[in-house]
Structures are given as structure tokens and as C-alpha cells.
Amino acid sequence: MKQAIQIKKDIYWVGVHDFQLRQFHGALFPIKEGASYNAYLIVDDEITLIDTVEAEFTPILLERIRSVIGDRKIDHIIVQHGEPDHSSGFLEVKRHYPDAKAYCSNAGVTSMMQQYFQDHGYQKVKSHDTLCTGRYTLSFIEMPMIHWPDNMMTYVKEAQVLFSNDAFGQHIVSYQLLDDAHACSYLLSQAKDYFANIVMPYGKQVENKLKEIAALNLKITHIAPSHGIIWHRYIKELLNAYMEFATYQSKDKAVIVYESVWHHTQAMAEALAEGLGRSGIDVKIYQYSKTDRSIIMKELLDAKAVLVGSGCYNNLMAAEIAGFLEQLKAFKFQKKKGLGFGSYGWFKMIPAQINTRLQEAGIALFGEAQSICYTPSEQDLATLEQLGEALAAEIKAMPQ
Ligand SMILES: Cc1cc2nc3c(=O)[nH]c(=O)nc-3n(C[C@H](O)[C@H](O)[C@H](O)COP(=O)(O)O)c2cc1C
């Protein structure tokens, strides 16, 4: 029988581990170790459930709930986010606890109605509204577009716990729920991975929300997200790291992403990497089709430069590169610079098209795109290495 895990007096984790999951949110976010869907139970005079789980795992959620409250009823269900990984179990939970009142943000009600079509008399809550359950007072903090319009957090003043929903999540699947069981560097790396792949387009919203939370001066001993471990010992480090992510703090780092059939564009990529690397730039180089997208997104987050290469195939750039450039548009990068490059046979315009797409994604150009006909010569490669050196100097001159 599945049991709840106590986090603090009267507060329990009743979530699930999905050990088998390898693609989080479809192909958007390849992952290695599965994911958790965290739901939490606050046992007070009245009982509150914070979020549910993916529908298929609802029996586990219910089992963990019963392990704490037996036949007592749930009084309140806080739906912090209408995305199915947190809300698709709601209907089944409501079937078991029909008298429980459900609470959502304004946008959350719309999201629940548009997805599940059933009116459960959702109570709309907004930032700073409160719900008293006896000894505990829950207050709500809306966080629109981190990362859907409806997301909100819930703060429990007397327990000093912030239930942060998708903010501060990570894909660590562990029964050791508190962060102090893990190395801080690993935790922050996983949080960065999650941020880069789910939250990155919404850096401005995160920056503003972090400032808003800081101004509220909340006493917080635990931050309990809806995925991964619970932050306790490393809250300060987490908040500092999140501010760095949200404001796209960058390093002297370049990410080179390319596609290449006959290795000519690959040779160009490697020559550019050689020049950058020997000039002190941290260079990451990836063939897009051979790399998990999530790795590229994570490395991109704190890079100053992104160089994108493709051979020309039937007058087009490689479909993977076209897709990658399309994704870049979502991120609204302000401070990065980029350059297109690639090999061709008889139509030399693909690198120039890459440059145009980079600009459309808000990425300033280092200069003219680099095209080479078929196999790059020794001289071509030496010239590209020199270009890498020149780009390194420009990267170092860019603000962090
Ligand atoms: C399926 C295929 C289609 C191609 N179509 C074009 C084309 O339309 N225009 C062109 O200039 N070169 C074309 N080429 C030639 C390549 O662009 C050329 O071989 C280039 O060096 C490939 O770079 P890569 O080794 O990085 O893949 C094509 C090559 C392949 C394999």
C-alpha cells in the first residue's frame, strides 16, 4: 500500500513517481530518470489537497491520501494549474470527495472548463485572497505565464511553506524528498534544466515574480514545487540561481548547433569551435538530430553566442535546423549574438537565411553568414578558426 510522506507537521506529500517517463510534455523535454507529480495534503480542522496528478496515477494519489486521513473527507482542493499533469486527476478525486470545494485562479477556471467541460463550482481566487482551514491560513499568489495563464502558488503562513507549482520544479525522482539529501550543484543543475525547457520563454515574468515574492518578506522554510524534490536547505541558492536564469545571466560561452550529411558543415562547426575554444570560450557543439533537445536548451540559457549551421538540401536548410530556429523565437532572447554558416553545392543562401531567422528570434548578428561550396579546404578551415578567434574577442566584450 502506498503511503504519504510527511514533510512537516500536518503537511504530507501524496504525489506519484513516474519512473518510466522519458519525454516530458511530449517531445518537448526528453528526460533521463522520469518525473514526479507532486500533490500535497494539509491536515487541519479542514483538510486541503494542493493539486492532483496525471489521471492514470490517481489511484496512487488516493491511496496516499487515505494513508493519512483514512475515511475523513477532503474539504478543499487547490487547483494551482490546469495543465493535465496536475489537473487530469481532479475529476476522479472529486468523484471520491464530492463535497470538496475547488479553488482556481480566474484563468484556472477557464482552463479547467475548457479542458474537462464539467462545472465543479470552482471558487475563483486571486493574489492575496486567503482560506483559513483552522490553524492554517492559505494565501494565493497568482503567477500568470509561469508558464500558463492560470498558474498560481499557495503560501501557508503558519507552516512557512510555499507551494510553488511549476516554479522551482526539477525532474528528480526520489523518495528522499528534501533537498538536503542531494548535492546542491546537482539540484541547481536539474532546476536549470527544467527552467530552460519549460519556463525559459517567460524569464521576464519570473524576474518580476521573484521581486514580488522578495518584497512580500514571506518567512519560508520549504518551497514545495509540483515536480521533483522540495527545497529547504538550499532555498537561498535556488532563488539566486532562478534570478540568474530569469535574467539570462550569461557566460563567455558559445553553443554551436548544426546539421550535416556529408560532414562539410560539421567541419565548419568544428573549425569555429577550435578558434573559439583556444581563445578561452566555453564551446558546446551539437548535431541537433543526435542530441536531446533538452541538453541544447539548457546550454543555451547561459551562453552569449549561438552559431547555427546547415548544409543545403533541396534548396532548404535541414528540417531540424529550421525547427530549432523556430523554437528560438519563443525565447525572446535579448542579449545573445549569433551567426549562420553551412556548406552547399549550388545554392549558397542557406546560411544567410539562418542569419535572418536568428534576427527574427531577437538574436543580434556577429556579421555576414559563412557559406562554403562543398568540401571546406584547409585554407577555408583556417579562416574559420580565425573567425572563431575574432568571435571570441567579441563574446568576451559582451555584457554577462
Ligand atoms: C539530398 C541532398 C540534396 C541536396 N540539395 C542541394 C540543393 O538543393 N542545393 C545545393 O546547393 N546543394 C544541395 N546538396 C548538396 C549539399 O548541399 C552539399 O553536398 C553540401 O556540401 C552538404 O553539406 P553537409 O556535408 O554539411 O551535409 C544536396 C545534398 C543532398 C544530400
Top mutation candidate among 259, 260, 261 for ligand 1, by most atoms within 8 Å of CB: 261
Ligand 1 lined by 319 (C-beta under 6 Å): no
Is 310 near ligand 1, meaning CB less than 6 Å away? Answer: no
Domain boundary (246, 266, 294) is at 246
Q: Give me the catalytic one of 76, 120, 147, 222.
A: 147
Number of domains within the chain: 2
Residue 211's pLDDT is: 96
Residue 18 pLDDT class (50, 70, 90 cuts): very high
128 is catalytic: no
Residue 334 has pLDDT above 80, yes or no: no
Distance 300 CA to ligand 1 centre (A): 27
- Looking at the structure, do residues 263 and 232 belong to the same domain, yes or no? no
33 and 67 fall within a common domain: yes
| Confidence tier at 26 by pLDDT (50, 70, 90) | confident
262 and 241, same structural domain? Answer: no
Evaluate if residue 320 carries a pLDDT over 80: yes
Q: What is the pLDDT of residue 155?
A: 98
Domain match, 229 and 306 both: no
Q: Is pLDDT at 332 greater than 90 in this prediction?
A: no
Q: Is residue 3 predicted with pLDDT exceeding 80?
A: yes
Q: How confident is the model at residue 11 (pLDDT cuts 50, 70, 90)?
A: very high
Mean pLDDT of 236-257: 96
Domain match, 144 and 202 both: yes
How does DSSP classify residue 178? Answer: B
Question: Are 124 and 170 in the same domain?
Answer: yes
CB burial of residue 313 (10 Å; 0-12, 13-18, 19+): middle
**Which of 217, 246, 275 is the endpoint of a domain?**
246
Q: How far is the CA of 286 from the centre of ligand 1 (A)?
A: 19
Residue range 217-246: mean pLDDT, rounded: 97
Say which range, 87-96, 124-133, 177-186, 330-339, has the weakest mean pLDDT.
Answer: 330-339
The active-site residue, picked from 54, 75, 83, 259, is 83
Please state the pTM of the whole predicted model.
Answer: 0.93
Residue 195: DSSP 8-state: I
CA of 294 to the centre of ligand 1 (A): 28
Domain carrying residue 297: 254-397
Q: What proportion of the chain, given as a percentage, has pLDDT over 70?
A: 100
Are residues 41 and 112 located together in one domain of the fold? Answer: yes
Which whole number is the average pLDDT over 182-205?
94
Q: What is the pLDDT, as a whole number, of residue 39?
A: 98
Question: What is the mean pLDDT of the segment spanning 12-17?
Answer: 98
pLDDT interval class at 130 (50, 70, 90): very high
Question: What pLDDT is recorded for position 95?
Answer: 97
Q: Is the CB of 114 under 6 A from ligand 1?
A: no
Q: Both 71 and 92 in a single domain?
A: yes
Alpha-carbon span 274 to 277, nearest angstrom: 5
The stretch 3-24 carries a mean pLDDT of 96
- Per-residue buried b or exposed e for 112-126, using 16+ beta carbons within 10 Å of the residue's own CB: beeebeeebebeebe
DSSP at 198: I
Known catalytic residue at 227: yes
Catalytic-role residue among 46, 75, 81, 142: 81
Phi-psi category of 280—alpha, beta or left, where left has phi over 0 and alpha has psi -120 to 50?
Answer: left
| Residue located via cell numbers 563574446 | 395
Q: How far apart are CA 160 and CA 55, in angstroms?
A: 30
Q: How confident is the model at residue 187 (pLDDT cuts 50, 70, 90)?
A: very high
Closest-CA residue, ligand 1 atom 28, reads 313
In 85-240, beta strands by DSSP E: 101-104, 123-124, 130-132, 137-142, 152-156, 161-165, 222-225
Please name the residue that has the C-alpha cell 541558492.
237
Q: Which CATH number characterizes residue 304's domain?
A: 3.40.50.360
Q: Is 316 in the pocket of ligand 1 (CB under 6 A)?
A: no
Same-domain pairing of 215 and 92: yes
Q: Which of 345, 338, 400 is nearest to 371 (CA)?
A: 345
pLDDT for 400 equals 86
Q: pLDDT class for 286, splitting at 50, 70, 90?
A: very high
Q: What's the chain's average pLDDT?
A: 96
**Does ligand 1 lie within 6 Å of residue 186's CB atom?**
no
pLDDT at 269 exceeding the cut of 90: yes
Q: Say if residue 278's pLDDT is above 80.
A: yes
**Residue where one domain finishes, among candidates 203, 228, 246:** 246
Are residue 91 and residue 107 in the same domain, yes or no? yes
Answer whether 341 contacts ligand 1 (Cβ < 6 A). Answer: no
The reported pLDDT for the residue numbered 333 is 81
Return d(Cα 164, Cα 226) in angstroms, integer: 7
Probe ligand 1: pick from 264, 312, 371, max atoms within 8 Å of CB? 312
- Listing DSSP states for 77-136 in one string gives EE----SHHHHTTHHHHHHHSTT-EEEE-HHHHHHHHHHH-----PEE--TT-EEE-SS-
* Domain identity same for 235 and 375: no
The answer to whether 171 is a known catalytic residue is no
Taking residues 137-151, report their average pLDDT.
Answer: 95
| Range 194-208 average pLDDT | 91
- What's the mean pLDDT in 368-387? 98
What CATH number does the domain containing 169 carry?
Answer: 3.60.15.10
Distance 219 CA to ligand 1 centre (A): 60
Stretch among 87-96, 198-207, 251-260 having the lowest mean pLDDT? 198-207
The verdict on 145 and 29 lying in the same domain is: yes
For the question of residue 25 being annotated catalytic, the response is: yes
- Verify whether residue 81 is a known catalytic residue: yes
166 is catalytic: yes
